Amino acid sequence: MSKIYRHKMLTWILLLVVALTILAPLSVSQAAGVGDVLGALTSPTAPTSDGGGILNTLFSFLFDKVLGPILNIFGGGSSSTGAPPASLPPKPSGGGGPVLDSGVLRGKVIVVDPGHGGNNPGAVANGSRESDNNLAVGLKLRDRLRQAGAKVVMSRETDRNVAAVGSSLGQELQARLDIAARNNADLFVSVHSNSNPDPSIVGAMTFYPNGKSSKLAMEVQSALIRETAAVNKGFQPATFYVLRNAAMPAILVEMGFVSNNAEAAKLQSDAYRNKVAQGVFNGIVKYFQAN
């Protein structure tokens, strides 16, 4: 049995135990089905900022303290099932290329967060390391944003952890958000590469926190597809730690799948990395132009 399937089995066992714990005290007339509880706990679109409640507390504990550190599910390396998200941006029209920012980025504080790094390389396949891809594109995005007048703060500019040595996964992710909070960021952009057990899965997608930042995600996803011509896997809400705990508009961009040989090669290409960075930049400009 492969490691990923052992992880999946462990996940469902833990979720089943939690579900049974919730259901046990409920009367027959009030009890939800086990499938409903599991669906609520595992759904990437489940709200997590409802102001409190046992399910919210349980969700945060389970995913931040138990499953997150075990499976690294909040690192963005292998979170996607490969199924197309429900929301797809409008079909891009015209060609790619630079977008005139018309000064809308001047003075904006944007945190660019290349996911993973240090002792956590993220998804690794076909000779491609996610952390390397993320950093390369993040630096290219930084340069474009700065040239347009934005103040860019990087969570990391080298292959390193952001939190102190020995920190937990939760502390590592929180350290990235702390950087954004300290700098009163207008935007938080996390850059990732994806992975899937099915090596035929390809494409780029953009995630946003449930209930906010959907317009930002739509603009970035649309511009990214226009620039790269990648398979459009759309944009959708997700409960990744850096999204649901961000105080400012935030997105997490999955540039492509390192588990696919052809896409892994693209993600290591300097020319393709330039296209990805340009696409994300164009989307950010479009977002600020519309707001």
* CATH code for the part of the protein at 109-289: 3.40.630.40
Q: What is the DSSP string of the chain?
A: --HHHHHHHHHHHHHHHHHHHHHTTS-TTTPPPHHHHHHHHH-TT----SS--HHHHHHHIIIIIIIHHHH-TTSSSS---SPPPSB-PPPP-S--S----TTTTTT-EEEEEE--BTTB---EETTEEHHHHHHHHHHHHHHHHHHTT-EEEES-SSSS-SSPTT--HHHHHHHHHHHHHHTT-SEEEEEEEE--SSTT---EEEEEETTS-HHHHHHHHHHHHHHH---EEEEEEE--HHHHT-SS-EEEEEEEETTSHHHHHHHT-HHHHHHHHHHHHHHHHHHHHT-
Provide the pLDDT for residue 21: 44
Residues of the chain with pLDDT under 70: 1-101
Provide the pLDDT for residue 37: 34
Instruction: Report pLDDT digits (tens) over 152-178.
Output: 999 999 999 999 999 999 999 999 999
Provide the pLDDT for residue 26: 35
Instruction: Report pLDDT digits (tens) over 213-269.
Output: 999 999 999 999 999 999 999 999 999 999 999 999 999 999 999 999 999 999 999
For the chain, domain boundaries:
3-71, 109-289
